[in-house]
Structure 1
Amino acid sequence: MARGGRKDQPINREQGPVAEFVDDLRRLRGALTLNEIGHRMQYHPSTLSRRLTPKELPPQDFVDSYVRACGHDPGPWIERRRELSRSSTDPQVIEPGSATETREAATPWWKRPHYLVPAAAVLFVPLAVYLLLPASPSLGDEQSPASASRASGPPVPEPGRGFPIRIDRMAFRIFSPWWTQTSAGDIEFWSLNVCPQGTTTYWVAVHPTREAVRFACNTWQYHKWADVPAGTYHLEIWKEHDGQSIKGSGAMRSSVPIVVHPKSTPTPSST
């Protein structure tokens, strides 16, 4: 089946457990295209395609981000990957510190498909995130997302219906705490991020099911995602990885009661 302009090459599951694992990851995305998954992960489809081959076990960070982008709980998939990494003698499984990994670490970052960068930030609950930065154009270049509107400062979130967000420093991308809502409702988000010269926009999305929205820097911005179904969600906020950092604050408000999960990631229940 052609997905996102690229055609998946069939995987021979008899090659071994890594091939089975990668084939199952491919099937997990169902009708979603590589472009749609890449949009959610901020990966170029060609990078996704390279990772989803049976040649080697995908990195744990990639598996986590990919499964989330497919709208599923990454926990069982990460545990399955760990079991493969611990027990397999298959040469496809690359362990930390192996010769292959050492060669990649010695390769200059600009020649690698992607590399790890810290996205240091503080939310309502302090959150430090390390993310795979894809070698791809920005979302702003690939897509035409909706734009947030100008607004005044946010109201104080009512307990059980929202939470404040503070960003002390964001170089690339951060996530809010997860929350669960048992009925459909509107999600509103106010944000004011101060950006340095040359940085004018950033993006916000309600994951795993809502579209990205472009926010302008240095002014209060507002957007409402209407009729968000019952389920478990989180906000993702990101910008161009241009070496600049932004900081600011904001607030999320729901029209229906929510339960916030600040310390653990529950199993997403939305589809």
Structure 2
Amino acid sequence: MQGKVVVVTGSTSGIGKQIAIGLARRGARVVLAGHDRDEGERALQELARLGDHASLELEIADFSTFDAVRAFAAAVSARHPRIDVLVNNAGVLHERPRLTPEGLDATWSINYLAPFLLSHLLLPRLAAAPQGRIVNTASVAHRWGRLDRGLRPPSRGPGPGVRTYFDTKLAVVVLTRRMATRVPSSVTVNCFHPGVIGTNLATGPGVIGRLMRVGQPVMKTPEQGARTGIFLASAPELHTTSGEYFVDERPRRPSRKVHDHDAAEALWQASVELTGVGH
């Protein structure tokens, strides 16, 4: 990874930060991306202790809006004519639906639409690399998701935020497989399940926060959860592997729902209409 340019979203804490650390240790030039400047500066200082501070960058971006994603892509593209790896890791799990300033569900915007848009915007830079890679953070939770609800949260019932999270992670696996067939042959697209991680993805007094705290003893650490992401971003033997779902550094068969062509096509077309990319 020496000298390669790597962009990691959601990299100022949790799994994303550990992926950034792992790739920086391998010699990559890492662009950190997060929404909180103080947290970002702390992460930057932590990574700087690993080696050359000049090989690190920090971009503050709120991936809940398309304008912010476009601004981030423009800033990174202006500095880097070539990007070797994009890790789409930023994610949220809201217990109750929240709307973005654009009137969209925040979980859908951050977990799925932002990776969809950012991957397409940075694709020219990834295609300029000898072997570009897109790595998406998915989840085993995709197995409980549905695509027939479209880009919206469930209208009623318990735990709509959790079910929306499941839906978005299924959408990420679908995005991975479909993009793998549409990008230039020099670019690969893969996704991975990091394990159940004790991070700040879900916090607070609600049911999600309680479940996270109860399950803490059996959860993976962020360092453990990052391993497969680091592997997908850096392993030389994966230079032609694309469209796969990985668990513990091995390809695994995703849910059969991923193969629902009609639902996947409807999702893709809705994404194209909303973002203006992916035609």
User: Which bin holds the TM-score, normalised by the shorter protein?
Assistant: under 0.3
Bigger Cα Rg: 1
Which TM-score applies when normalising by structure 2?
0.25
Which TM-score applies when normalising by structure 1?
0.26
Higher strand share: 1
